């Protein structure tokens, strides 16, 4: 796995004309951002954050998209159980 990650870092750096350290830095920033968004949404859907708290932390568009996705999954599950 480590070898595969290293190769991907080298390839991204080469294709984007960046240093490998810049690629790793960008990956870390994006990864932390994804983890933060997932945490905030989990806290919101678990009732530990209210909607305003979630919106303040990750933005209205992200919260609305997550709500729509959750509703679609719930609708699919409900449809499947009724079929």
Q: How many other C-beta atoms are found inside a 10 Å radius of the C-beta of residue 40?
A: 22
The pLDDT score that the predictor gives to residue 11 is 98
Residue 83 has pLDDT above 80, yes or no: no
Q: What is the DSSP string of 37-56?
A: HHHHHHHHHTTSS-HHHHHH
> Does residue 26 lie in a domain region?
yes
> Does residue 62 lie in a domain region?
yes
The pLDDT score that the predictor gives to residue 2 is 87
> Does residue 53 lie in a domain region?
yes
> Does residue 50 lie in a domain region?
yes
> Does residue 31 lie in a domain region?
yes
Residue 82 has pLDDT above 90, yes or no: no
Count: domains in the chain = 1
DSSP at 20: H
Helices 20-45 and 60-82 meet at what angle, rounded to 10? Answer: 60
pLDDT in tens, 42-65: 999 999 999 999 999 999 999 999
Which domain does 77 fall in, by range?
21-82
| Statement: the pTM of the whole predicted model exceeds 0.95 | no
Q: Which residue has the tokens 């954050």?
A: 49
pLDDT in tens, 1-29: 889 999 999 999 999 999 999 999 999 99
The pLDDT score that the predictor gives to residue 72 is 96
């Amino acid at each position: 796995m480590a070898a595969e990650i290293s190769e991907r870092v080298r390839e991204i750096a080469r294709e984007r004309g960046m240093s490998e350290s810049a690629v790793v830095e960008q990956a870390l920033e994006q990864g932390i951002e994804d983890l933060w968004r997932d945490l905030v949404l989990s806290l919101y859907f678990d009732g530990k954050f209210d909607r305003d708290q979630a919106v303040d932390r990750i933005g209205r568009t992200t919260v609305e998209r997550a709500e729509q996705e959750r509703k679609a999954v719930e609708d699919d599950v409900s449809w499947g159980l009724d079929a």
